[in-house]
Amino acid sequence: MRIQAAVTRARAAPMSLEMVDLAEPRDDEILVRLVATGVCHTDLAMRDQAFPVPQPIVLGHEGAGIVVKAGRFVSGVSPGDHVVMSYNSCGHCPSCRDDEAGYCHDFFGYNFAGLRPDGTSPISNGGEVIHGNFFGQSSFASYALCHPRNVVKVRKDAPLHLLGPLACGVQTGAGAIINALKVGVGDSLAVFGAGSVGLSAVLAAKVVGATTVVAVDLNPERLALARELGATHTIDGADPDLVAQVAEATGGGATFSFDTTGAPAVIRKAVDSLALRGECGTVGAAPLGTEVTLDLMGLMTAGRKFRGIVEGDATPQVFIPVLIELFMQGRFPFDKLVTFYPFDRINDALHDSETGKVVKPVLQMTVS
């Protein structure tokens, strides 16, 4: 079928809106009409080749839409169902079997290869192969093919046009706090980076009852929004006494810290800001080969922990419905992060995200 898609053809170049061909869904695939899709910094990183994804490619990995067709081997969703599309995974490696699909042994193959596992792409234009299947969806398009492992059926009374960011950015931030770090009542948390991921972490910290939540960023408007969403303290990331400021705010150091930047200097401060036996998690998509220097003695003698987190340690089919329920109850207002753009303004949305003008752009194909 002919669809409209935003095609990335060159590093750091604007995406081009094109009419392309999307293959019919296979027996194990699901055809979804996109209503909206979030824009994530991972899309920007892939456009700019921070990871060497093949080009031309259709990016997009926070899709929300309505099922049009489901292959005969697909169960759990039917035409007309509202769905969110999250990350993909193999389903049979040790991590997947342990319900830790974010650490799938072939995570890069299933999400960044731009091809199905059999080496084909579902997207083409005449004789030209256009790489698709990005995160099992390539949702910068009017229609997408996804898979049973990365599709999440959602309640029809929830605002579908708003739900796409739950698939990655919001899930990553909230899941890091709730699932991975397991922040609890009375804990203190320092969040480094007040973008969509960091602010989702602030929202989650409020949900779980953390009593001290420190947000660190260079943008005063982001810090003001962090306070509105539940941060008890905010600190300018350029403050030379940043670590001491976190210690003062938390009474000696944070129980947990969370880095969303992937910047080695910021990670070092996040770890140094921990209390004894504290734990730091990072989710920043740093370029391949990035290294971090830590004070090993300070890590060891204080019993501190440092770990990476992918997709908030979340099983999307379990966690995304929980976030939707919290949102519907008014306890997780992630809509305050969102700015909507029509799909044909995708390059404006990418620019505004990259420059920090908006927190979370969402492209709307259809208002729902």
pLDDT at 287 (0 to 100): 83
119: domain CATH number is 3.90.180.10
pLDDT digit string, tens, across residues 85-119: 999 999 999 999 999 999 999 999 999 999 999 99
Flag whether 53 is in a domain.
yes
pLDDT, residue 125, reads 95
Q: Model pTM? A: 0.96
Number of H helices, E strands in the chain: 11, 18
What pLDDT score does 285 carry?
80
Mean pLDDT for the stretch of residues 60-65: 98
Is the Cβ–Cβ distance between 273 and 257 less than 8 Å?
A: yes
Same domain, 276 and 294: yes
Token pair for 366: 């259809």
Say whether 76 sits in a helix, a strand or coil: coil
Examine the domain organization and report whether 177 and 103 are in the same domain. Answer: no
Q: Each residue of 143-180: pLDDT tens digit?
A: 999 999 999 999 999 999 999 999 999 999 999 999 99
- 201 with 142, same domain: the answer is no
Question: Among 232, 205, 203, 241, which Cα is nearest to 330's?
Answer: 203
Indicate whether 59 belongs to any domain: yes
Task: Answer whether 158's CB lies under 8 Å from 327's CB.
Answer: yes
| 129 & 72 share domain | yes
The reply to whether 211 and 132 lie within a common domain is: no
> The domain containing residue 294 runs over which residues?
170-312
Q: Are residues 33 and 91 in the same domain?
A: yes
Residue 324 belongs to some domain of the structure? no
What are 189-218's pLDDT values in tens digits? 999 999 999 999 999 999 999 999 999 999
Does residue 308 lie within any of the structural domains? yes
Residue 322 lies in a domain: no
Question: Domain holding 293: CATH number?
Answer: 3.40.50.720
- Same domain? For 123 and 216 the reply is no
Whether residue 16 is found in the same domain as residue 159 = yes
Residues 140 and 162 in one domain: yes
Q: What's the CA gap between 64 and 162, in Å, rounded?
A: 8
User: Rounded to the nearest 5°, which phi and psi values hold at 73?
Assistant: -95, 5
Give the confidence band of 368 by pLDDT, cuts at 50, 70, 90: very low
* Averaged pLDDT for residues 250-273: 97
Cβ–Cβ < 8 Å for 201, 189? yes
Q: Which of 116, 151, 163 minimizes the C-alpha distance to 22?
A: 116
Residue 319 lies in a domain: no
Q: How confident is the model over 129-143, as pLDDT tens digits?
A: 999 999 999 999 999
Only one residue has tokens 């003001």, namely 224
Please indicate, yes or no, if residue 328 is contained in any of the structural domains: no
Residue 325, in any domain of the structure: no
Query: Within this chain, do residues 70 and 130 fall inside the same structural domain, yes or no?
Result: yes
In DSSP notation, 146-197 reads E-TTTEEE--TTS-GGG-GGGGTHHHHHHHIIIIIS---TT-EEEEE--SHH
Percent of the chain with pLDDT over 70: 99
Structure tokens at 277: 């036996």
Question: How far apart are the C-alpha atoms of 8 and 138, rounded to whole Å?
Answer: 11
**pLDDT reading at 52 higher than 90:** no
Count the neighbouring beta carbons within 10 Å of the beta carbon of residue 321: 17
Please say if the pLDDT value at position 367 is more than 90. no
155 and 184 both lie in a single domain:
no
What the block records as the tokens of 331 is 């306890």
Q: Are residues 27 and 10 in the same domain?
A: yes
Q: Which has the higher per-residue pLDDT, 288 or 280?
A: 280
**88/359 Cα distance (integer angstroms):** 25
Least confident of 185-194, 265-274, 282-291, 315-324: 282-291
Quick one: tokens of 337? 């992060």
The domain tally of the chain equals 2
